[in-house]
């Protein structure tokens, strides 16, 4: 991604939004050093198309979705590569309703990128200004997603901000709700986002929780839309487990719908939700697909094992802080610890191996198909096998789960070896 491309993207998006009568956008970013460069390029592109810009600075991705709605903007734009290293970056859009842009609008923007960039008349150029109170607005929103009387007083919480977009707001949310907060991963320098901290490296949080004798640890990713927790015993709790806590609590309180997971969701989550008398549906991997499935089923709760959780009764998109607060609210409602709330859910052993490939590999290939069938035969109907290409890296993800950890690891390693051998042939 280059400044030239981002400039053109801002202009193309501005032209399309302008054609729909929309003339104001919000721009937020995470803490990557390239964010400064791309923010300026986007601002220039939108201005050239006659669209006004409101700059939010470093803010979590779900905060931009929320503020886009409440500030009545035409769209929200986030400059972030989420959980990836600092040298990656990307751009994502939210609609005026705080949801992903409709495919039809994205298609129009794509088509406009092929047109020559023409600057609007100087008298109609878009203007830009900063919104200084954006963090405070979002903090109040997060707090509003839990019962008004809920207090975290007496709870010691370690908050890991991944040196990312939550560093300004997450510690304040938990502290203002009464928790005693210890903060790690909140010193961004433009280069250390996600580096050894955050939801992709929960072992750092685990060490901090055990050292502090804390009741709980909460880790976000670089842009704040994912969350992973660590309980008081040091056990790392992923998105599947957190989704179960939220869903089981909602079901106890009368939630009539089901839950959406993904192809990577642990079989233990599916069994636990069905044991509560609710259906469980798997979507393709990716929050967009989880959201689409929730809309289709007219349900409210879904998510990924990575910690990207959607509570559509609280927010329009996945939000790490909001999801964490829903777990804490359930702990407070029942007066139980996180590990206690999870005693009724059995996570099956799961092994995930990333096989790096030099060129595209078809998963429909007969050789790979035979390797998958052999792996499934070993599990004898007591587990799952899944192969899928990564959407962001040259990898084939090999996932195996079942009732025996040793067997799962053996099957996964054998299958990964078969994929690696075929990819090298």
From 34, 82, 199, 305, the catalytic residue: 82
Q: Which two tokens stand for residue 400?
A: 């195996």
The span from the CA of 142 to the CA of 17, in Å, is: 29
Q: Give the contacts of 375 (CB within 8 A, at least 6 positions apart).
A: 385, 400, 411, 414, 415
Contact 65, 28 (CB under 8 A): no
Q: Beta-carbon neighbour count of residue 244 at 10 Å?
A: 25
Q: Which two tokens stand for residue 227?
A: 């969350």
DSSP bridge partners of 158: 182, 217
Please give the distance of CA 387 from its chain centroid, rounded to a whole number: 21
Question: Whats the size of the chain, residue-wise?
Answer: 425
Q: Which of 165, 112, 99 is nearest to 138 (CA)?
A: 165
Give the ranges where 177-266 is alpha helix by DSSP (H).
Answer: 202-212, 239-252
82 is annotated as an active-site residue:
yes
Q: Which two tokens stand for residue 135?
A: 């963090």
| C-alpha torsion 224→178→196→237, nearest 10 | -80
CA distances from 191 to 41, 196, 202, 375 (A): 20, 12, 19, 41
Q: Which of 262, 248, 213, 219 is nearest to 234 (CA)?
A: 213
Q: Give the contacts of 6 (CB within 8 A, at least 6 positions apart).
A: 38, 41, 42, 45, 91
Q: Give the contacts of 164 (CB within 8 A, at least 6 positions apart).
A: 30, 31, 185, 188, 193, 194, 198, 220, 221, 222, 223, 224
200-223 as b/e, with b when 16 or more CB fall inside 10 Å?
A: bbbebbbebbeeeebbbbbbbbbb
Active site residues: 82
């Amino acid at each position: 991604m280059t400044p030239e491309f981002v400039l053109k993207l801002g202009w193309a998006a501005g032209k399309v939004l302008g054609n729909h009568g929309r003339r104001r956008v919000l721009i937020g970013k995470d803490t990557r050093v390239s964010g400064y460069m791309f923010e300026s390029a986007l601002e220039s592109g939108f201005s050239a198309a006659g669209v006004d810009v409101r700059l939010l600075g470093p803010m979590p991705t779900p905060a931009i979705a929320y503020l886009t709605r409440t500030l009545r903007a035409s769209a929200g734009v986030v400059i972030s590569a989420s959980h990836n290293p600092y040298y990656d970056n990307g751009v994502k859009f939210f609609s005026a309703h705080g949801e992903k842009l409709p495919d039809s609008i994205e298609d129009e923007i794509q088509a406009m990128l092929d047109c020559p960039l023409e600057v609007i008349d100087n008298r109609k150029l878009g203007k830009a200004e900063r919104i200084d109170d954006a963090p405070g607005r979002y903090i109040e929103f997060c707090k509003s997603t839990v019962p008004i009387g809920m207090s975290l007083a007496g709870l010691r919480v370690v908050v890991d901000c991944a040196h990312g977009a939550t560093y300004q707001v997450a510690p304040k949310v938990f502290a203002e709700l009464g928790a005693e907060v210890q903060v790690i991963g909140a010193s961004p320098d433009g280069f250390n986002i996600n580096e050894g901290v955050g939801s992709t490296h929960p072992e750092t949080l685990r060490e901090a929780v055990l050292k502090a004798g804390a009741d709980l640890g909460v880790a976000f990713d670089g842009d704040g839309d994912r969350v992973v927790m660590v309980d008081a015993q040091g056990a790392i709790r992923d998105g599947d487990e957190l989704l179960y806590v939220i869903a089981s609590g909602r079901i106890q309180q009368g939630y009539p719908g089901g839950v959406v997971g993904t192809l990577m969701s642990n079989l233990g989550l599916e069994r636990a939700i069905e044991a509560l008398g609710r259906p469980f549906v798997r979507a393709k991997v990716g929050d967009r697909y989880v959201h689409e499935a929730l809309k289709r089923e007219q349900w409210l709760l879904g998510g990924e094992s990575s910690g990207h959780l959607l509570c559509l009764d609280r927010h329009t998109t996945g939000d790490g802080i909001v999801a964490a607060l829903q777990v804490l609210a359930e702990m407070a409602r029942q007066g139980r610890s996180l590990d206690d709330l999870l005693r009724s859910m059995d996570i099956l052993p799961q092994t995930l191996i990333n096989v790096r490939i030099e060129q595209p590999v078809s998963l429909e290939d007969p050789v790979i198909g035979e390797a998958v069938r052999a792996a499934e035969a070993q599990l004898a109907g007591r587990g799952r096998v899944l192969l899928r290409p990564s959407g962001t890296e040259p990898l084939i993800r090999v996932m195996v789960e079942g009732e025996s950890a040793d067997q799962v690891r053996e099957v996964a390693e054998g299958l990964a070896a078969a994929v690696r051998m075929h990819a090298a042939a």
